[in-house]
Structure 1
Amino acid sequence: MKLVIQNARVILRDRILDNAAVVCDGGRITAVLGEGDGVVPSTDGKRIDLGGRYLSPGFIDIHVHGGLGADFMDGSQEAIELSCSAHLQHGVTTLFPTTTTASDEQILRTIDAVKGARETPTGKWPLPRIEGIHLYGPYFATEKSGCHNKEACRVPMPAEFERYFQTGLIRIATCAAELEGSGAFYRAARDRGCLVTCGHSNSSWSEMEQAFESGMRHVDHFWCAMSSVQSVRARLGTPMQGSMLEFVLGTPEMSTEVIADGWHLSPELLRFAWRMKGVDRLCLVSDCNRALDMPPGRYLFGDAEDGGWILSDGMVGRGLDGGLASSVVALDNMVRHMHTAVGVPLVDAVRMASLTPAERTGIAEEVGEIAAGKRADFVVLTNQLQVDQVLVGGKIALTN
């Protein structure tokens, strides 16, 4: 179907085009027209006039656990689809359902449920694109497990993780670099084209260096559940060694991500990460759980068998001990906060929630920016950066 979106402020990878139009056909972008680029073509298809609102590329969440009362680890197709639909309402047009620490059987059940949602969706809710799974846990350091179940943390064993990779659904793979067997895990993930990640780890610079040689290129939620110089010293003694933080900042090829919900990290830390890594190596993620768009209360993080309880006040999740846990807001909140509270240009904030995660996960030829040839996945934003409409493949999936 042909589609023309006109009178839009189009957010490109490096600038904003005012009074612009985007032409689509067959679910793909065919042209982006700014002032002076010619007449907007007539069409026998659909025409949408945005009245000066923003047209953003659809957001891409590479680290997300659930929403609307459901967790991906619930292991049912209904839970997968409900969680995905919750994030679509916040402008996420592509996501990677993210696992937690759990048993082998529970992880395989979630993988099967994601496969069903991708291949034979029920049609109960409009869905974003599910590009693959983020295997996140169970290969964590127990002392850095955060709100994940410590009892389910374990070292990676080929007999187990090869079953996950053989499904063909794992696109992002996380493991703590200091664990025995991590090198084999990283190499297996690299050979399958995954974004290879270190997370929930107390690793030193030298351990990160070894992981890098095995294919690791990304670190999850910067400053959260990760090593510091002091924690490495406590584990390995003197002399003091560099930690994950120093390795990421000192290695240009490394990327990372931040939870910009206004609670996990202060504005100065978010600005620091943006300045140090730049927009092409820093992703925004939600790390959001089932409490998204739910009333304040007590929620299970992970599955009913192995999960633990967190408390949501509607703004952030906390463990029962009061410490920060998973986020309870979606990626649109992160974009708004980075721009309005942190002072990052809107173009950069949007890029870190779209093109940068697309590039890091190897899907940028298809999605991540508004450019000819890309999929027609869009978010219409008000002047206050609230989600007004969402389009997937050129079709309206949500209107608020």
Structure 2
Amino acid sequence: MTVTNRTALAGARLVLPGGVVEGDRLAVEGERIAGLGGDTGPGDLDLTGYTVVPGFVDLHVHGGGGASYASGIAEEALLAARTHLEHGTTTTVASTVTGEIDEVARQAHVLSELVEDGVLAGIHFEGPFISHNRCGAHRPDLLRDPDPALVRKLVDAARGHARMVTLAPELPGGLDSVRMLADLGVIAAVGHTDSDYATTLEAIEAGATVATHLFNAMPGIAHRAPGPIVALLEDERVTVELINDGVHLHPSVLDLAYGTAGANRVALITDAMGAAGMGDGLYPLGPLQVQVKDGVAMLPDGSSIAGSTATLDRVFRRALTVGRLTLGQAVESLSATPARLLGLGDSIGSLETGKLADLVVVDSEGYDLVAVMRRGRWIVGGERFSTVKPA
């Protein structure tokens, strides 16, 4: 006999698509949200003083817990996914990093199996089709022009689970690869690019719909050369990634992006490498070594930031306590917007009846993470809630 998991959360502040509701009830049955509102029942968990938001969705993450998705080792990928899950990321798109084409294809094969197992939601190829001038923490000698045949080789290696490819559209083959990816239903993302404004517009017209970590690894805005940033911000078809870790972007730059694009076009990401959830030290990022000191990941020579050490609960908390976002805006950028971009908006990204019960519980004062539920089952923290006392 199949036993269906049933629970209800009562008294919590719920961040719903229509706004914030105080002291409401959310029922879970099996893997899904069974209902919102209604009277408190016996056995309901008392979440008075807590806020419930939908599970976070990370479009761009390279690792965590000391492990890397670019290792090509399933156990490492599982550890990285689990680390971020415990910090509220209930949906993860695993990002690779520049390497030899055959090696990245092998990594994609391993990651695709974890997609099929339901651990990951897809694969994002960041590199090797990026600009030497803006390569950041990618090995310059392994970079390649985005020849459509090479891009297709990586997409095929993902066995239908490639979600996104970051490339520099100004390179030979760049625009043709954007068109091919759009035809295949894979997101073409502009990033690690030296593109100018006009070429970026061409890429958007060709089908590019994402800006990979906007502002980072691309030319800045100049008054007579607006560059890729302005082109990506001003087009309503483009979703822009932002790394809100306190290192990559000044708070005023986030304000600029939100003021121009709005939360429905901003996806807050971690761009985390293996040190996320860990301490300082040396960590691998693909074929490179990264030095983490005081929580900041850098190449050992200090020439470039090398991803972040953030988790999305930290990004969420920072958006509300350091930034100027409302609860609704933060939830949209961490859940609804990336879910919609991935084509998963019907099942995740918001607290609605019938959607998967992917939930994050935070303290209503400082927004510290308290508990995480994925598909109706507590991952961390569920044991701390007592049942509602009878009136």
Take 1:47 and 1:187, find their aligned partners in 2: how far apart are those partners?
51
TM-score normalised according to structure 1 size? 0.89
For residue 311 of structure 1, give the secondary structure of its aligned residue in structure 2.
strand
Per the alignment, residue 347 of structure 1 pairs with: 328
Partner of residue 10, structure 1: 14
Match of 2:386?
Answer: none
* One-letter identity of the residue aligned with 2:87: H
The one-letter amino acid paired with 2:291 is: L
Q: Secondary structure in 2 aligned to 1:367? A: coil
Aligned 8 A contact 1:73 1:106 in 2: no
State whether residues 200 and 231 of structure 2, in contact with CA within 8 Å, keep that contact through their aligned partners in structure 1: yes
C-alpha displacement of 1:115: 2.2
Conserved? CA contact 2:101–2:154, under 8 Å: no
Deviations 1:136-167 (CA, angstroms, capped at 9, x unpaired): 11110011000111111111223322233231
Residue 281 of structure 1, CA deviation: 0.5
Unmatched runs of 5 consecutive residues or more in structure 1: 121-127, 234-239
* Residue 81 (structure 1) aligned to one of 72, 78, 90: 78
Could you tell me which residue of structure 2 aligns to residue 388 of structure 1?
370
Matched letter for residue 65 of structure 2 = L
Which deviations, in whole Å up to 9, do the C-alpha atoms of 1:232-253 show, x marking residues without a partner? x9xxxxxx54311110232222
Contact 1:29 1:375 in 2 (8 A): yes
1:28 shift after superposition: 1.3
Separation in structure 2 between the aligned mates of residue 223 and residue 118 of structure 1, nearest angstrom:
30
Which amino acid in structure 1 is aligned with residue 295 of structure 2?
M
Q: How does 1:1-400 map to 2 (within 5 A)?
A: 1-33=5-37, 38-40=38-40, 47-120=44-117, 129-166=119-156, 167-229=159-221, 240-302=224-286, 307-322=287-302, 323-383=304-364, 384-399=366-381
* Separation in 1, partners of 2:204, 2:135: 22
Q: Indicate the larger mover: 342-351 or 352-361.
A: 342-351
Alignment partners' CA distance in 1, 2:184 and 2:95: 18
Q: Is the 8 A contact 1:194 1:361 kept in 2?
A: no
Q: AA paired with 1:145? A: C
State how far apart, in whole Å, the 2-side matches of 1:277 and 1:193 are.
23
Q: Report the CA distance between 1:229 and its aligned residue.
A: 5.0
> When the two structures are aligned, how many residues end up with a matched partner?
374
Q: Shift in Å at residue 175 of structure 1?
A: 0.9
CA distance in 2, matches of 1:14, 1:228: 36
Letter in 1 for 2:338: P
After the TM superposition, which of the residue ranges 160-169 and 346-355 deviates more from structure 2?
160-169
Q: Aligned with 1:102: secondary structure?
A: coil
Instruction: Give the Cα separation in 2 of the matches to 1:399 and 1:257.
Output: 29
Instruction: Judge conservation of contact 2:233–2:261 (CA < 8 Å) in 1.
Output: yes
Distance 1:295 1:367 in 2: 31
Distance of 2:190 and 2:296 partners within structure 1:
24
Distance change >3 Å, CA 255–CA 115, structure 1 → 2: closer
Gaps of 5+ in 2: 383-391
Alignment check: 8 A CA contact 2:78 2:119 kept = no
Contact kept, 8 Å, 2:277 with 2:311, in 1: the verdict is no
Equivalent in the alignment of 1:237: none
- Amino acid paired to 1:358: A
Report the Cα distance in structure 2 between the residues aligned to 1:195 and 1:32, rounded to whole angstroms. Answer: 34
Q: Which runs of 4+ in 1 moved over 6 A?
A: none
How far apart, in 1, do the equivalents of 2:175 and 2:40 lie?
A: 54
Shift of 1:2: 2.3
